[in-house]
Amino acid sequence: MHKIPAACLLLVVATDESLRLHSGWLEAAGYSVTPATSLKEVEQACHASFDMVLMADSLDPKMKKAIGKVIRHFLPETPILQMGRTRPDIGGNCFVTSDSRDEVLRSVSRILRRDEIPPAAL
């Protein structure tokens, strides 16, 4: 039996504490996580392929917009899950969820399964 490769996620957060917390949740659930805590790290990471991008709401709004533009330039069809938001503030294929462990993992799973969910409706 062949093992199905883990989904590759780009995790964009503002702090090391948030990085440890969220990457721990995601890796324990079997996902492959690439972290980024700056615009430069996001640009470098975007030369790879990702199944989804997760973005923490704690990022500075101007930085979040800049990061969103970089992601949309390099990964135009990749879904973005904004954690801790009720409304998206990045255009394109964007979803929102609370910042709780269970909600983040449920949302990631639903998006990766391509469940019938309208963007920004998680």
Q: Which fold has domain 8-112?
A: Rossmann fold (3.40.50)
The whole-number average pLDDT for the span 46-69 is 90
What angle is formed at CA 10 by the lines to CA 39 and CA 72, rounded to 5 degrees?
60
pLDDT value of residue 24: 94
Q: At which residue do the structure tokens 């709004």 appear?
A: 61
The whole-model pTM stands at: 0.87
pLDDT at 97 over 90: no
Summary mean pLDDT of the chain: 86
Task: Tell me the pLDDT band of 78, cut-offs 50, 70 and 90.
Answer: very high
Q: How many residues make up the chain in this entry?
A: 122
pLDDT at 122 over 60: no
The set of long-range contacts for 103-110, using a CB threshold of 8 Å and a minimum separation of 24, is 104/22, 104/25, 104/26, 104/54, 105/25, 105/26, 105/29, 107/81, 108/7, 108/9, 108/26, 108/29, 108/31, 108/52, 108/54, 108/81
The whole-number average pLDDT for the span 86-101 is 80
pLDDT value of residue 93: 78
Task: Tell me the pLDDT band of 22, cut-offs 50, 70 and 90.
Answer: very high
Q: Which amino acid, 95?
A: F
